[in-house]
Structure 1
Amino acid sequence: MSARGPIIGLVVVVVLGAGVVVADRVAAAEAENRAVEAIEQNLDVEGTPDVTIDGFPFLTQLLRGSLKEVTGTVDGMTLDGIDATDVEVEARDVSTSEPYTVGTGSIAATLPTASIEKVVADRTDLDVQVAVEGGALKASGQVLGLTLSATLTPRVEDGRLLVDVGGLQLAGLTITVDDLPASIRTRLTDLEVPVSGLPEGLVLSDATVVTDGVRITATGTDVTVPLEQSPSGTSTSR
């Protein structure tokens, strides 16, 4: 029996297998491009998102009509005028046909101290500087000609980012918010950092102080992701 037959058969299998892998990767790359467009259309981003669709082979996920996990990163985004950095997007159980939906999704981003400082200054009409010291968010500035410092503790309540003011020191003396004049006390009560511009269905769920600001996370389930189409039927980015 000639050995040529099995060898030729093996070569054919290898070639066909390589072709399937190439087709799989081409399809996955196209889907990743569409995911990039979806991020650009639904978030006010800075820079080009870097997207990865996990799982191999991709074509079996496509035939199933659902992608197991899609992750993406982008340098920055703007949330209703507030700059955020180090943006991470995660989506699970993503449908591959319209309307595009995400079973569970999240967006995490960092609000730098400069962004927090601007919001605090705008809300309080006080000239303050915000920094992270010893793992805590600290604000300092001048009030009535005296140096005021305070600890800012971010928290999320009912989808809103609130900041509790505590650890107050005025001219080196420890005080409470109630010790301040009413005109200043009201500015430091119920302080809210507005976070809007997130895709519909995602709600702010967590806020943690990190080395360069506040790391916020928004989560949601069964989120619909609009994706505009050009007249030819292909997706378009902003």
Structure 2
Amino acid sequence: MGAKAAVAGFVAIGLVVGGAYLADGLARDEAEGRVADVITRELQVEGTPEIRIGGFPFLTQLLGRSLDDVTATAGAVTLDGLRVTDVTVDATDVSLETPYRVGDVRIDATVPTASIEQAVRDEADLAVTVDGSTLRASGEVLGLTLTAGLVPRVEGGRLLVDVQDLTLGAGTLRLDQLPGNLAERLVGIEVPLDGLPPGIVLQAAEVVPDGVRVRATGVDVVLEDAR
């Protein structure tokens, strides 16, 4: 083979590879746009979610009717009236045929202090802020300033908040020293996250600068059940 023929051959291969890469990228872009549309229709998303479909080549995934890796992010989502922010969804083995299934899914989101405060206010009129690695509640009780540390925890797939480090005025109190049934109302206060799709269960929670960061996971989740 002469030099010109070899160069022509390499150019032809380059064009084929480049064309395939371009087609792969265009198909991926279109699929990401469709996933964003579906998420916007199914969830109360603020703005347009960002979608990334991983794995290469994408066309083989499309032909196989299953996506290896999908990541979706959104600034805020409302779950049954509860607003959560900085939402990230990581999913693997996402079926493109009915029944639409996801092999593994993980959802990370922040429950802002305003949402936690609303849950606490249902039990006691306290404002909630973040104080380093803990939450701090404060308000007026019996004409005195009440402050308390709040500890989030997950139990049975529910997000609960317990009150501790309680001070009233200049003194420190135990919960059992509070009047009436106030002590019982300040333990296991639930922050409802009822809007999670079936099969996805809350696993963990930790305090972050904006509120409480939660993580939920699911295995073999049927998307149609979440509609």
- For the aligned pair, the TM-score class normalised by the smaller chain equals over 0.9
Name the residue aligned to 1:23. 23
Question: 1: CA distance between counterparts of 2:42 and 2:220?
Answer: 16
Name the residue aligned to 1:66. 66
Partners of 2:119 and 2:189 within 8 A in 1: no
Number of residue pairs matched by the alignment? 226
Q: Map 1:161-180 to 2 at 5 A.
A: 161-180=159-178
The two structures, once aligned, show a CA RMSD in angstroms of: 1.8
Is 1:155 the counterpart of 2:153? The answer is: yes
Question: 2: CA distance between counterparts of 1:151 and 1:3?
Answer: 78
Instruction: Show structure 1 runs of 5+ residues with no match.
Output: 228-238
Alignment deviations for residues 152-183 of structure 1 (CA, whole Å, 9 cap, x no partner)? 11111111111111111111211111110124
Moved over 6 A (4+): none
SS at structure 2 position matched to 1:226 = helix
Name the residue aligned to 1:146. 144
Identity %: 52
How far did 1:87 drift? 0.6
Name the residue aligned to 1:235. none
How far did 1:2 drift? 4.2
State the structure with bigger RCO (CA 8 A, min sep 6), 1 or 2. 1
Question: 2: CA distance between counterparts of 1:199 and 1:182?
Answer: 38
SS at structure 2 position matched to 1:167 = strand
Q: Map 1:83-232 to 2 at 5 A.
A: 83-122=83-122, 124=123, 126-226=124-224
User: Residue type matched to 2:172 in 1?
Assistant: T
Name the residue aligned to 1:232. none
Question: 2: CA distance between counterparts of 1:191 and 1:15?
Answer: 63
How far did 1:120 drift? 0.8
SS at structure 1 position matched to 2:224 = coil
User: Residue type matched to 1:136 in 2?
Assistant: T
Instruction: Show structure 2 runs of 5+ residues with no match.
Output: none
SS at structure 2 position matched to 1:114 = helix
| Deviates further, 60-69 or 76-85 | 60-69
Q: TM-score with structure 1 length normalisation? A: 0.89
Partners of 2:105 and 2:219 within 8 A in 1: yes
Partners of 2:204 and 2:214 within 8 A in 1: yes
Q: TM-score with structure 2 length normalisation? A: 0.93
